[in-house]
Amino acid sequence: MDLQLKGHRALVTGSSAGIGEAIARRLAAEGAAVVVHGRRAHAVNKVAEAISAEGGQAEGLTADLANPGECARLISSALGGGDIDILVNNAGAFANRGWDDAAPEDWLALYATNVAAVVRCIQGFLPAMRGTLGTDRTDRYR
């Protein structure tokens, strides 16, 4: 399949393993330059190196997206390498706790990763993404 992604850059959050890694590898196979993200440098670099070894373009960035400062650093670093045309908000957390044993702080931690980080990433990348679109296409993102 040719998704015509050559010349485009994609950031896939949570792409150092699992579904995110599969998404990053597929985007790279389709020609996109991929920014691999995760919290652990070793895992991020392993995926980025594997993509490069397969002939794709990849770089790795680490950040804990639940931390607003680290999320801002990720956005700045990613945009420092060029425009991000594709953002896949894949990073997420899961706590195997029920209503009886999960404290409010546990729920807030999940919210910080699964909701607030997604909002931060969208708000951080959207202005540049809008700038790279033709004026006839920007209305669909407002």
Residue 137: inside a domain? yes
- The total domain count for the chain is 1
Provide the residue range defining the domain that includes 19: 9-141
Q: Can you tell me the distance from the alpha carbon of 29 to that of 82, in angstroms, rounded to the nearest whole number?
A: 19
CATH number (domain holding residue 87) = 3.40.50.720
Please indicate, yes or no, if residue 1 is contained in any of the structural domains. no
Residue ranges in the chain modelled with pLDDT below 70: 132-142
Claim: this prediction has a pTM higher than 0.85: yes
Structure tokens that stand for 66 in this block: 């639940």
Q: What pLDDT shows up at residue 95?
A: 79
Instruction: Tell whether 66 is covered by a domain.
Output: yes
Q: H or E segment at 113?
A: none
